[in-house]
Structure 1
Amino acid sequence: MPNPHPQCAICPFEWSERYCRKAGGKAPENCPSVRMKETLARAQAETTSEALLPFACEASRQEGEGYAGRDQGYATVTPCKPRIQEIIEFARRMHYKRLGLAFCVGVRFEAEKVHRLFESAGFEVVSVACKAGRVPKSELGLTRDEYVDPTCEVETMCNPVFQAEAVNDCEVDLNILMGLCVGHDSLFIMHAKAPVTVLAVKDRMLGHNPMAAVYQLDTYYRYLKDI
């Protein structure tokens, strides 16, 4: 019996032939576009509501403008903007004035450049480091053998909830995550009041480029299939 839950990532049909791409397209039995009509209607009503419609429209417009050559046909479409430029443009589209930058101290040098770049683009920037608050990891119940540096008597915890509450208090319009750890990023998103987007994710081993392991999954990183 097929899995009843959506599994779009392993859809058996060629991309251009899928139901979600064209009318009358092909779909497996667990296709969410086909099976979850009530959920789709509820989501569409929310997306086109007065509260979300402007945000959804500008997000789609920004998607389109991330490519050049659109007037010459799909075959000539070429990516033309880095993500950081798209964040700036989207914030301008939404008429945002104050941005929150929640970053890991492991990318503090890059965070300074990003902070100043956003300022030069005309935004007020509120940036909060992950170690802000200087709360010991012992308050989480961790022992020294669980620290990054077990020889350290007191090690400061990452504090994404404090980061989120700090930018909330500053009433930012949009939050940008930069290099937060797995799990810490989730905690930030759970507690942030303003919308959240991601500039960079944490990957200590791969220079914050986690897709490198995916691209090499059948060669250098094949061991991941056995972990």
Structure 2
Amino acid sequence: MSKEKELSHLSCTDCSIYNCKSRSKQFPGFCLTTKDNEGHLIADDIEEIKFHLQGDEQDAVVARASAQVEGLFYGKLTRVEEIIEFANRINAKKIGIATCAGLIEEAKIFAEILKAKGLDSYSAICKVGSVDKAEIGILEEHKIRPGTHESMCNPILQARILNYQKTDLNVVVGLCVGHDSLFTKYSDALVTTLVTKDRVTGHNPVAALYTAHSYYNRLRQKKD
């Protein structure tokens, strides 16, 4: 691979300068802040987005609310509290909860907290619809418990139900990898995440990254 081509493939995970955060250094030659993309001038994108976020449309309100929550409460609020603060700042009154069946008790606690803070909520569990996995072509041997009724996760139906309820903001509580993608795709309301499922690490997926040089070294082994 030529040096020029190698340079074109570099991105943010190849950087150690991070001048985009503080403007106290120099941008590296491959910096995405200065590098154009397939005929698209990055400077034009930056100006267009900046202008877009200066208005009163939803994107602008969300961008400012997000920055305000980050700036005012950095390191002070839990994720639960940040979601509530964010919801208030975008005037979200009805919060949808898209929960995994395995975290339904945590979702119930979250619903109680929302109520205590003056917010309405409506929840939809991942197994809603009770459709057996075999009905969408899943083989019995690919079930957790072959030979039994095993309801598939149904994130599209979860999204539809919360859409019918006209929620203002939807919160993911532990949906599986991929199911969270489908839920986000079909949700009419904005989506944020409270819990990211990781059954092995107690729903703390970054633990695998912190220990990738030790306990989870297998993650860094190259594929054969």
Instruction: Give your verdict on TM over 0.5.
Output: yes
> 2:131 is paired with a residue of what secondary structure?
coil
Distance 1:32 1:147 in 2: 43
Q: Which runs of 4 or more aligned residues in structure 1 lie more than 6 Å from their structure 2 counterparts after TM superposition?
A: none
Query: Are 2:82 and 1:86 equivalent residues in the alignment?
Result: yes
Distance 1:135 1:6 in 2: 44
Distance 1:12 1:99 in 2: 39
Partner residue in 2 for 1:32? 32
Q: 1:115 Cα shift?
A: 1.1
How do 1:34-49 and structure 2 match up within 5 A? 34-35=34-35, 36-49=42-55
Q: What residue identity is the alignment partner of 2:191?
A: V
Q: What residue identity is the alignment partner of 2:141?
A: D
Q: 1:43 Cα shift?
A: 2.4
The runs of 5 or more residues in structure 2 that have no matched partner are 36-41
Distance 2:201 2:21 in 1: 34
Partner residue in 1 for 2:8? 4
Contact 1:165–1:192 (Cα < 8 Å) also in 2: yes
Contact 1:20–1:33 (Cα < 8 Å) also in 2: no
Distance 2:161 2:9 in 1: 38
How do 1:52-71 and structure 2 match up within 5 A? 52-67=59-74
Distance 2:64 2:10 in 1: 26
Q: 1:217 Cα shift?
A: 0.7
Q: 1:44 Cα shift?
A: 2.1
Q: 1:140 Cα shift?
A: 1.7
Listed one character per residue, the Cα deviations across residues 70-111 of structure 1 (whole Å, up to 9, x for unaligned) are xxxxxxxxx111110011111112221100000101111111
How do 1:73-152 and structure 2 match up within 5 A? 79-152=75-148
Q: 1:182 Cα shift?
A: 0.4
Q: 1:6 Cα shift?
A: 6.0
The runs of 5 or more residues in structure 1 that have no matched partner are 68-78
Q: What residue identity is the alignment partner of 1:181?
A: C
> Using a 3 Å threshold, how does the CA distance of structure 1 residues 223 and 197 change in structure 2: closer, same or farther?
same
How do 1:171-186 and structure 2 match up within 5 A? 171-186=166-181
Listed one character per residue, the Cα deviations across residues 92-135 of structure 1 (whole Å, up to 9, x for unaligned) are 12221100000101111111111111111111111000000111
- How many residue pairs match? The answer is 211
Q: What residue identity is the alignment partner of 1:197?
A: T
Partner residue in 1 for 2:39? none
Output the aligned Cα RMSD: 1.6
> 2:34 is paired with a residue of what secondary structure?
helix
Distance 1:218 1:192 in 2: 38
> 2:151 is paired with a residue of what secondary structure?
coil
Partner residue in 2 for 1:200? 195
Identical-pair percentage: 34
Q: What residue identity is the alignment partner of 1:98?
A: K
Distance 1:34 1:58 in 2: 27
Q: What residue identity is the alignment partner of 1:42?
A: E
Distance 2:54 2:33 in 1: 18
Query: Are 2:159 and 1:164 equivalent residues in the alignment?
Result: yes
> Using a 3 Å threshold, how does the CA distance of structure 1 residues 221 and 30 change in structure 2: closer, same or farther?
same
Distance 1:3 1:163 in 2: 43
> Using a 3 Å threshold, how does the CA distance of structure 1 residues 85 and 19 change in structure 2: closer, same or farther?
closer
TM-score, length-scaled by structure 2? 0.88
